[in-house]
Structure 1
């Protein structure tokens, strides 16, 4: 199945490998919280598919989480739930 997002003209061929970047304040519960949110919409995350990067001063952290996306609806739901989380500053 091929889905086209006309606003960004991005082409997805589902299922596909997809990376979600999540930025937020560097706090102890951030990683667990965002992984729980993503896992609501996917299967259990593979720790090898999660990368963590700290900001230069260490106040912020970003995570890249690679998943197998099954639909645009799934991606939209993950993004919306992450944006609704008060620990998350930004989602790409």
Structure 2
């Protein structure tokens, strides 16, 4: 329960476990998809192709992915985000 005038914790906001979209953008290279999946699977288990959607940029140079996972904790999400941010093929994550 959130106390009046208290800032809610991430656990109170997300109500784990929950469906969580991870949005990733980078240069349109085949290995981006593979690397992204390896990182996420290391922390969230196997990803089924139905959990991934993609969209190419208008000029086709970049691609964005949305990967839906079942998030289990803030620690898990922070670990995924940190590893994705550190990867050279990934330009942005949301």
Task: Note whether the superposition's TM-score is higher than 0.5.
Answer: yes
Q: How many residues align?
A: 87
- TM-score, normalised to structure 1's length? 0.90
1:41 to 40, 43, 48: 43
1:75 corresponds in structure 2 to 77
- TM-score, normalised to structure 2's length? 0.88
Distance 1:28 1:47 in 2: 15
- Larger strand fraction of residues: 1
Structure 1: where are the runs of 5+ without partners? Answer: none
Distance 1:62 1:4 in 2: 29
Question: C-alpha root-mean-square deviation of aligned residues, in Å?
Answer: 1.6
Structure 2: where are the runs of 5+ without partners? Answer: 3-7
Q: Does 1:4 align with 2:9?
A: yes
Distance 2:33 2:25 in 1: 10
